[in-house]
Structure 1
Amino acid sequence: MLLAVAAGFALYAVSPPHDVWWLAPVAFAGFALVVLGRRARAGFGYGLLFGFAFMLPLLGWLQDFLSAQFGPWPWLGVAAVEALFFGLAGAGMARVSRLAAAPVWMAAVFVVAESLRSSVPFGGFPWGRLAFTQATGALLPLASLGGAVFVTFAVALIGAAVAQFVARLRERSGLVAPVATALVPVLAGLAALPTIGTEPDAGTARVAVIQGNAPDIGLDLLYEDDVLHDNHMRAADRFADDVRAGRVPRPDLVVLPEQVGSWGPAKYDPELSRIAAEIGVPMLVGGLGVDEDGQLRNKIVQWDPVTGPGGEYHKQHLVPFAETIPMRPVARLVSPFVDRFERDMVPGRRPGVLDAGPARVGLGMCYDVAYDDVFTGATREGATLLAVPTNNAWYGHSEMSYQQLAMSRLRAVEHGRAVVVAATSGVSAIVRPDGTVAQQTGQFVAQNVVGEVPLRSSGTPATWLGNAPLWVLVALGVGALAFTLRRRSRDV
């Protein structure tokens, strides 16, 4: 039990913003060692402990956000629900750990549990995927081959192989196979490193990010839409002044964060139109909007310097109990958004690709970046640059923004695109196609960023394969579990 808890906390300790990618497989090895050779029921219990010890500190930003009004219950509740999926992973890993080539099946079973956690309930909660611990290091290039799921599998495979090696040390035999298994993902990642493209095969673009800042007031920010708008208009005004004075080169496009605007069907915002005209380039601006049919959406609007508001992207993955609220009478006990939004937002159904200057920008908003389909769809639709407008001001000076930035870094490598992160209060960043951060802001400061980014049209295997690696690994994991059930019934 102590090892399971220690392994879970260790996995949190090596998660962003901590840059120790190589310790994530070691932490996972502690979990795999605990469940190795156990019964499924014991594996579930140890997995529950591991998951809770990992998710509770990882989601500490929920406590920063909600504790003043709701106490620790939302934080504890979400961590407990997520820990159940780690319990399922532990049960499945224990069952397949007696098979030949056990590390392969254990890693595949973990992928199955992680994919379930990312899908259910209420659309899932992919925060804390193993892949997101690998924003740097030898395993990151694997994202370009098979996406985030491939990186998760690699971390779990190494960890399970290390666990098997430790277990076999007592017998002093059979040590070669686990060592070889642990080395394969590392060598594959190093071999894939030269294939990561960074050259601007579709030109370049100078991008400006406007971070206007927000007051660090947690829940009280809920009704301060005007403050977010005004702060960002002032920051954009200062940027326009710098461009006119020649202190900053004129960009090709400007990206503003999520929830800067608040619009009706006409999207009337004279101040934003004036600033766009003064800078003289297209702007991408996030905001809440009511459509002509009365539907409420979280959207990004393309703002032309001459014609004003144009194309839109609608956020595809809405945050449960915030942007979409199941079980409203119960949700009222744990969510302030029940009173803020009388009706649910409506999710987008199409990939977001908007033309802005020389770039075709693929868009994902905040929570979207945790899901594999958003940028896969946008890149397949011809995006040459990716952007993540977000509002993280709710969560104070927590690790949440850095956890989200790590996801953007993995997406950059996954699709071979530069990624622009525009946050209301930080962390905003410009990420190169190889996942390295070219520029980055601090938290709770008004700070604009301008940088030259490569535009790329060539695809990666991960982009074109899409969900295929996931389904292959799920088939392996489910097949291994089915085999253990069949063998048990045959033995009986």
Structure 2
Amino acid sequence: MEVSRRQAQRPQPIETRAGSGVPRSGGVAARGPWSDSAATGDDLTWFILSAIVGHDESGARVAGERPIILTAAAGGATTALGFPPFDLPWLAPVGLAMLVLALREASATRAALLGAAHAAAFLGMTLWWLAEAISPFAWAAMVAAQSVWGALAGVAMVRVRRLHGWQLWAAGVFTAAESARAAVPWGGVPWGRLGYSAVDAPWSAWVAVIGVAATGTVVALLGCLIASVVEHATRRSLRGLVPAAAVVALVAVPAMARGVLVTPNQATGPVARIAIVQGELPGSGREVVANHRALTEVLVGQTRQLAASDTGRPAPDLVVWPENAMAVDPTTDVVAGQAARAAVEAARAPLLLGAVVDAPDARYALNQSLLWDDGGVRASYTKQRLVPFGEYVPLRPLAERLSSRVAAIPRDMLPGGDPEQIGVGSFSVATALCFDVAYDDVLRRQVARGGDLVSVQTSNAMFLGTAQLEQQWQVSRARALELGRSVVVSSVNGISGAIAPDGSVLERLPVRVAGSVVLDVPLNTSQTWAVRLGAAPLRLTWIIISMALLVTFAQDRRACRRRRRRRRRRRRRLPPTHAGSPPAMPLDRSDAT
């Protein structure tokens, strides 16, 4: 009887059903998808869910499970589908859910690998335009460097999983990692932030309320809640109804309240008459510097043609040319200065043009947007966020030894100071030059100080034919929604157009060919909640996540102390041990042979 009881208490070996990798407990009739009976539709559903999660319906690890790292990588690829050129925003939180499911009960080392795999797959797809436009090596180096933040996020997400309401903490961790990725190193890579994918999603109104960064937290929270629903579903637990209800609320509430939360595309009210001019480059369309004179001539010709076709109508309030419309300083270069004056005379309006201006120190240059009227330059804006290894070279002495291509950037550009909006007549323009638009603070500070209209001038010609153009257009639309301002975009050869304060597209010019358009865009002076809150949501996220991680470390320390106390107590209860071997038993002589 005692032997039978001990055998019953002994753990049963895990057997594998013949012809499948699904384990079942020996001697015990398994339920649901693990039963030996014919699989029903319900069993098949649980089987698929459990295979994704990597656990059986009782919550135990499945022996012989497929490498869960593939789930994390697939999650990264699924998240990338929420961005151009795919534009499937519903899949962004689904990809995050796959990462969360893969991280369940992972060790720190495994969590780092899973987080890095998710980030590498996501960034590898999203930033593929680097390989197409620059080189596969630059793409691989960028993805590898930025995937480190994914690894750290994976470790932190596992740690906060033990806390109550872990879904919110994990979402905050992902947002913190995103903001770090957008800052380090050398200004980081702000492309592919989750908040940008929300532009065409039902939850887009969150962008106008809490901003792009915090909207990324909402998208990540949706992913964590979806993962929680799946986990409860595999256990057939009704507790999954709570996160399911939260998912519905996060999606439905902003969708129903969009008319209240989002700045409307005003049919009546103050407007500005803006002329947007797009250039054209010969050949592949990617060489701006080699063809900068031809580009300027095209822009002057388009401005004259626009003025000739718009006779009988009021002159525009402002003409917008792209970044690098002049690759020389028009205040010192005679030809460039004449071109600017000719455009102003033809349009009978001030001209906002992008130019490379000489800095006071001849070793440096400034990437500026100049407001030019009949009297010359009236105001200027200097680019805030410069592109490393494009507009300046970090660690130049070392870089010159490693690559001869550094010689193509003879002068480093200097970033501008605190940005100020440019006054044009009765309204003011908040200005961003290309890469600036991807950073939260550049335009937000100008709008908070009274910017009525946003201008984005860009020179992304080197990325022609890649997804980078559509991704930057998506970012510009997100800024319109976040700031509650009309956005006019002028590009060297695409994408140029105008965006309404609600993020909808008012006008879009064809890519690659020269073109121009004059249209009335709404002006707005009210501020969205996203502008009022500023960086507060992101800072609060960092504070809360730091406190949550500190709580987990404190829990570990208390657990370690408890283990030490238990070990000391067990040592006190053990009987004393004697040195040497126990004394030998006396030999019974009657047994001797």
Q: TM-score range by the shorter chain?
A: over 0.9
* 1:263 equivalent in alignment to 2:332: no
Tell me, yes or no, if the aligned pair for 2:285 and 2:512 is still in contact at 8 Å.
no
Q: Tell me what 1:169 maps to.
A: 233
Report the CA distance between 1:285 and its aligned residue: 0.3
CA drift of 1:201 comes to 8.6
Quote the offset at 1:332 in angstroms: 4.6
- For 2:515 and 2:384, locate their aligned partners in 1 and report how far apart those are by CA, in whole Å: 28
TM-score, length-scaled by structure 1: 0.94
Question: Is 1:197–1:433's contact at 8 Å kept on the other side of the alignment?
Answer: yes
TM-aligned CA distance change 1:126 to 1:336, over 3 Å: farther
In structure 1, how many angstroms separate the alpha carbons of the residues matched to 2:92 and 2:283?
Answer: 32
Q: Which amino acid is 2:348 matched to? A: G
Map 1:329-340 onto structure 2 (within 5 A): 329-332=397-400, 338-340=406-408
Unaligned runs of 5+ in 2: 1-68, 561-593
Tell me the alpha carbon deviations over residues 202-234 of structure 1, each in whole angstroms, 9 at most, x when there is no partner.
710111110012235376444332232222222
2:295 corresponds to which letter in structure 1?
Answer: L
- Counterpart residue type for residue 436 of structure 1: S
Cα deviation for residue 40 of structure 1 reads 2.3
Q: Mean Cα displacement is larger for which, 157-166 or 212-221?
A: 212-221
| Structure 1 counterpart of 2:263 | 197
Q: Distance in 1 between matches of 2:404 and 2:277?
A: 28
Query: What is the rounded CA distance, in whole Å, between the counterparts of 1:243 and 1:436 in structure 2?
Result: 25
How far apart are residue 424 of structure 1 and its match? 0.7
8 Å CA contact 2:303–2:346 kept in 1: the answer is: no
- 2:281/2:291 contact within 8 Å kept: no
SS at match of 2:421: strand
Q: Which shifted more, 383-392 or 477-486? A: 477-486
Counterpart in the other structure of 2:134: 66
Cα deviation for residue 191 of structure 1 reads 4.7
Cα distance in 2 between the residues matched to 1:434 and 1:83: 33
**Alpha-carbon RMSD:** 2.0
Q: Distance in 2 between matches of 1:486 and 1:240?
A: 69
1:238 and 2:308 are equivalent in the alignment: no
Distance 1:333 1:409, change over 3 A: farther
CA drift at 1:184: 3.2
Taking only the aligned residue pairs, the percentage that are identical comes to 33
Letter in 2 for 1:152: G
Q: Secondary structure at the match of 1:224?
A: helix
Residue 365 of structure 2: which of 268, 293, 296 is its match? 296
Query: Is residue 2:278 matched to residue 1:211?
Result: yes
State the match for 1:228 in structure 2.
Answer: 295
1:385 is the counterpart of 2:453: yes
Shift in Å, 1:241? 2.5
Distance in 2 (alpha carbons) for counterparts of 1:45 and 1:488: 22
Q: Hey, what does 2:579 align to over in structure 1? A: none
| Per-residue deviation, 1:170 | 2.1
Rounded to whole Å, the distance in 1 between the matches of 2:252 and 2:472 is 27
Name the amino acid aligned to 1:263: D
Structure 1 residue aligned with 2:121, among 29, 40, 53? 53
Q: CA deviation at 1:6?
A: 1.2
Q: Is the 8 Å Cα contact of residues 352 and 362 (structure 1) preserved in structure 2?
A: yes
Q: One-letter code of the match for 2:110?
A: A
Q: 1:334 to 1:253 in 2, by over 3 A?
A: farther
Verify the 8 A CA contact 1:322 1:338 in the aligned structure 2: no
1:87 equivalent in structure 2: 151
Structure 1 residues 336 and 123, CA gap change in structure 2 (3 angstroms): farther
- Contact kept? 2:457, 2:491, Cα under 8 Å: yes
Aligned residue identity for 1:229: T
Displacement after TM superposition at 1:187 (Å): 3.2
Aligned to 1:39: 107
- Assess if the C-alpha contact under 8 Å between 2:494 and 2:512 holds in 1: yes
**Structure 1 residues not aligned, in runs of 5+:** none
Asked whether the 8 Å contact 1:252–1:358 carries over to 2, the reply is: no
Distance change in 2, residues 1:202/1:313 (3 Å): farther
| Kept after mapping to 2: 8 A contact 1:216/1:393 | no
Q: Given residue 401 of structure 1, which amino acid in structure 2 is its aligned partner?
A: L
2:57 paired residue number:
none
Q: 1:218 to 1:281 in 2, by over 3 A?
A: closer
Q: Equivalent of 2:162, from 98, 105, 124? A: 98
| Corresponding residue of 1:120 | 184
Identify the residue that residue 354 of structure 1 maps to in structure 2.
Answer: 422
Match of 1:28 in 2: 96
Work out the CA distance in 1 between the residues paired with 2:417 and 2:500.
28
Bigger mean CA offset, 171-180 vs 467-476: 171-180
Instruction: For 1:267 and 1:356, locate their aligned partners in 2 and report how far apart those are by CA, in whole Å.
Output: 25
User: Equivalent of 1:375, from 433, 443, 460?
Assistant: 443
Range that drifts further, 79-88 or 327-336: 327-336
1:314 is aligned to 2:382: yes
SS at structure 2 position matched to 1:190: helix
* SS of match in other structure, 2:96: helix
Tell me what 1:146 maps to: 210
Equivalent residue for 1:186? 251
CA offsets per residue over residues 264-316 of structure 1, 9 Å max, x none?
Answer: 65475112112211211111101111034434100000011x21222000000
**Cα contact 1:318–1:347 (8 A) shared by 2:** yes
* C-alpha distance in structure 1 between counterparts of 2:119 and 2:404, whole Å: 27
Amino acid at match of 2:103: V
Q: Please list the CA deviations of residues 67-92 of structure 1 after superposition, one character each: whole Å capped at 9, or x if unmatched.
A: 3xxxx211110111111111111111
Moved more, 166-175 or 381-390: 166-175
Alpha-carbon distance in 2 for matches of 1:321, 1:335: 11
Query: Partner of 1:491 in structure 2?
Result: 559
1:132 aligns with 2:196: yes
Report what 2:532 is aligned to.
464
SS of 2:134 mapped into structure 1: helix
Counterparts of 1:30 and 1:396, CA distance in 2: 33
Question: 231-240 or 94-103: which moved more?
Answer: 231-240
Structure possessing the higher radius of gyration over alpha carbons: 2
Q: Which deviations, in whole Å up to 9, do the C-alpha atoms of 1:118-137 show, x marking residues without a partner?
A: 11111221111111111212
Deviation at 1:421, TM superposition (A): 0.9
Residues 408-417 or 355-364, more deviating:
355-364
Cα–Cα, structure 1 residues 335 and 440, in superposed 2: closer, same or farther, change >3 Å? farther
Instruction: Give me the whole-angstrom Cα distance separating, in 1, the residues matched to 2:192 and 2:319.
Output: 31
Instruction: Measure the CA separation in 2 of the matches of 1:92 and 1:117.
Output: 15
Contact 1:122-1:320 at 8 Å conserved across structures: yes
| SS of aligned partner of 2:275 | strand
Work out the CA distance in 2 between the residues paired with 1:334 and 1:363: 36
CA-CA distance at 1:190 after TM superposition: 2.1
Aligned counterpart for 2:485 among listed residues 404, 409, 417: 417
Quote the offset at 1:58 in angstroms: 1.2
| Alpha-carbon contact 1:257-1:389 (below 8 Å) kept | yes
Give the secondary structure class of the aligned counterpart of 1:364: strand
Q: Which amino acid aligns with 2:318?
A: L
Shifted more, 87-96 versus 323-332: the winner is: 323-332
Measured in 2, the distance between the counterparts of 1:236 and 1:266 equals 22
**d(CA) in 2 for partners of 1:354, 1:337:** 36
CA distance in 2, matches of 1:447, 1:339: 34
Query: Which structure is richer in relative contact order (CA contacts within 8 A, separation 6 or more)?
Result: 1
